[in-house]
Amino acid sequence: MSILSKAVRIERHGGPEVLQMVEVEVPAPSDNEITIRQRALGLNFIDIYFRTGLYQAPLPHGLGFEGAGDVVAVGRGVKRFKVGDRVAYGQSPIGAYAQVRNMPQAQVVKLPKGISYEEAAAMMLKGLTVQYLFRQTYRLQGGETILFHAAAGGVGLIACQWAKALGVKLIGTASTPEKMALAKKHGAWQMIDYTKEDVVERVKTLTKGKKVPVVYDGVGKDTWEMSLDCIEPRGLMVSFGNASGAIDGVNIGILSAKGSLFVTRPTLATHVNTAEKMQAAADELFEMVLAKKVKIFIENRYSLDQVAEAQNALQARKTTGASVFVLD
Ligand code: NDP
């Protein structure tokens, strides 16, 4: 049986004016799908990339990759879930901004009792990202000093806490004194205002000239070269986002000139592309949250009708931590 649902859709790329609220008919789940009545959804920078056209999917399409809710129907081949289960996901087919949706079961996990729908919607995509950045891309052992840009953001505040729990000194960057104070409160060892200070010099001073073995950079264009200058010889540049715009026109020779550096451009999708990998990464994230080593900071709660307002705030650097859409 199909279910009617409100959903956000775009028919062309552009500013917030292209966001439309439509009513869709969600069909009965196919064999390996479950139908979720969503209770909370996550807002992420990637939603803006798809709206503007920096990242592309065939139009028209929905938006969003992160959500949590209750299972209301299961396909014939589904064994892991039953109607009534509380579930969450952070890496879905595009289209999380909806009241009801179908999801492939392999991309969904059961939500532990101690974690609310809102927390789940605020942490699945962002927390799983920190999991792979810190435990897979460059496996931190404890004792390292690292640089992490936009440390007061959604991914950033989780990273600050996770680094502290691992015994890692996280040097963060942010654009205002308030954001710097918030990141420090969440466990950043030191903060640098990259709109005013010389980041490379500060990193050199803080590391007694050594620089850092790894930089995690979700800002992109504006910080690319500065990030490379903060990395010790043979260290790793993890370029995982483009909040300031995409990096282009790179001459690969820059990596030799700056000290035989490595660079990677990872994405969450590769790291959770089977049910087993998704579950293992989610288990590690849930453990951090249930043990209160990572607390999920939700600054803004919106209704789905406020989607334009919510995306504007994120894009204009007005937010800290996570923003979620709360559904009835
Ligand atoms: P954030 O909450 O971190 O928001 C982005 C932050 O980037 C802003 O708050 C701002 O912080 C900083 N920023 C710097 N320059 C700009 C600019 N010109 N315009 C806008 N923001 C700017 O977002 P998310 O937590 O959702 O995502 C953080 C980054 O991580 C994004 O680039 C995102 O695409 C990436 N990401 C990548 C994933 C992957 O697997 N590759 C998965 C998840 C996220 P400040 O004001 O302090 O500078």
Q: With 90 as the cut, is the pLDDT of residue 1 above it?
A: no
Query: pLDDT band at residue 16, thresholds of 50, 70 and 90?
Result: very high
pLDDT at 33: 98
Mean pLDDT of 123-134: 98
Beta-bridged to residue 199, according to DSSP, are: none
pLDDT in tens, 129-144: 999 999 999 999 999 9
Per-domain boundaries in the chain: 3-123+274-326, 142-265
**Nearest-CA residue for atom 47 of ligand 1:** 174
Any ligand 1 atom below 6 A from CB of 241? yes
Q: Are strands 67-74 and 86-89 parallel, antiparallel or unpaired?
A: antiparallel
135 DSSP 8-state letter: I
The per-residue pLDDT for range 51-66, each reduced to its tens digit, is 999 999 999 999 999 9
For residue 305, is pLDDT > 90? yes
Atom of ligand 1 nearest to the CA of 155: 25
Return the CATH fold of 3-123+274-326: Quinone Oxidoreductase; Chain A, domain 1 (3.90.180)
Q: For ligand 1, atom 32, which residue shows the shortest CA distance?
A: 241
* H-assigned helices in 167-274: 177-185, 199-206, 224-229, 254-257, 268-271
pLDDT at 164: 98
Distance of CA 245 from the midpoint of ligand 1 (Å): 10
Q: Between the CA of residue 155 and those of 10, 73, 116, 183, 235, what are the distances in Å?
A: 25, 32, 18, 11, 22
Can you tell me the distance from the alpha carbon of 152 to that of 167, in angstroms, rounded to the nearest whole number? 19
Query: How far does the centroid of ligand 1 lie from the alpha carbon of residue 232, in Å?
Result: 24
Q: Is the CB of 281 under 6 A from ligand 1?
A: no
pTM value is: 0.98
- Mean pLDDT for the stretch of residues 82-108: 98
Fold of 142-265: Rossmann fold (3.40.50)
Is a pLDDT exceeding 90 seen at residue 319?
Answer: yes
Alpha helices, H only, 32-116: 45-52
Compute φ and ψ for 269, nearest 5 degrees.
Answer: -55, -40
CA dihedral 302, 305, 310, 315 (to 10 degrees): 160
Residues of the chain with pLDDT > 90, as a percent, come to 99
Reported as a single tens digit per residue, the pLDDT across 221-255 is 999 999 999 999 999 999 999 999 999 999 999 99
Per-residue pLDDT band for 75 (boundaries 50, 70, 90) equals very high
| The token pair that represents 171 in the structure block | 């040097």
Alpha helices in the chain (DSSP H): 45-52, 117-132, 154-166, 177-185, 199-206, 224-229, 254-257, 268-271, 275-290, 307-315
Measured from the CB, is residue 317 less than 6 Å from ligand 1? yes
37 lines ligand 1 (CB under 6 A): no
